Amino acid sequence: MDELLPRDVVTAAIHKQMAEDDMPYVRLSLERIPEEEIRSHFPNICQRCLEEGYDVTKEPVPVVPAQHYFMGGIKVNLSSRTSMDRLYAVGETSCNGVHGANRLASNSLLESMVFADRCASEITSSELPVAKDVTDRVDWSLYQNLEQLKEQYKNIVLEEIEKEKKRHE
């Protein structure tokens, strides 16, 4: 089937095939992708599959559909405000309605950034009664040097990745 169809359609087709074959998985072939591209684009997948005894460059691998995004969550408006006074929700925990009933691929991180920005703008906007109270409690000096902050955030992420790697060694 066309694997670029919406995920629920692909998932339903995979489940149907699993039932027909009476198997707990289907096999995914990467044979149309050049070996070098597989190795350079998906090094972790290659390694993990090898650990499980599969060489993705030589044979199809068993796969099953899995949930990797939560649809639903706390209902918010277009500024990420919940129905509770002063409570905002952003990211996967929130439901802002932009995905409809079936999220399209690769737009959740974008959605999180857009709604985080809208949320921050509303919280800091002077029109809101909560704004002064909130902004008075923020130490704005932390946000003066954006380049330094970006470097700091990058290092936090890199450290976490290293920690995860060690955890799996």
Ligand X SMILES: Cc1cc2nc3c(=O)[nH]c(=O)nc-3n(C[C@H](O)[C@H](O)[C@H](O)COP(=O)(O)OP(=O)(O)OC[C@H]3O[C@@H](n4cnc5c(N)ncnc54)[C@H](O)[C@@H]3O)c2cc1C
> CA 129, 92, 162, 147 torsion: positive or negative?
negative
Say which DSSP state 81 is in: B
Residues 100-119 interacting with ligand X (rule: CB under 6 A): 106-109, 112
Pick the closer one to ligand X by CB: 73 or 132: 73
Check if 81 is active-site: no
Helix, coil or strand: residue 59: coil
58 lies in the site for ligand X, by CB under 6 A: no
Helix, coil or strand: residue 95: strand
How far apart are CB 92 and ligand X at their closest, in Å? 4
# chain residues binding ligand X, by CB under 6 A: 10
Say which DSSP state 94 is in: E
Burial class (CB in 10 A: 0-12, 13-18, 19+), 76: buried
Q: Which residues of 13-23 are buried (b: 16+ CB within 10 A; e: fewer)?
A: bbeeeeeeeee
What is the distance between the alpha carbons of residues 7 and 4, in angstroms, rounded to a whole number?
8
Residues 66-85 interacting with ligand X (rule: CB under 6 A): 68-69
Residues 123-152 interacting with ligand X (rule: CB under 6 A): none
Pick the closer one to ligand X by CB: 93 or 152: 93
92 lies in the site for ligand X, by CB under 6 A: yes
44 lies in the site for ligand X, by CB under 6 A: no
**In the block, residue with structure tokens 């050049």:** 34
Pick the closer one to ligand X by CB: 47 or 145: 47
The residue with its CB nearest to ligand X is: 91
Question: Where in the sequence numbering do the catalytic residues fall?
Answer: 7
Contact residues for ligand X (CB under 6 A)? Answer: 68-69, 91-93, 106-109, 112
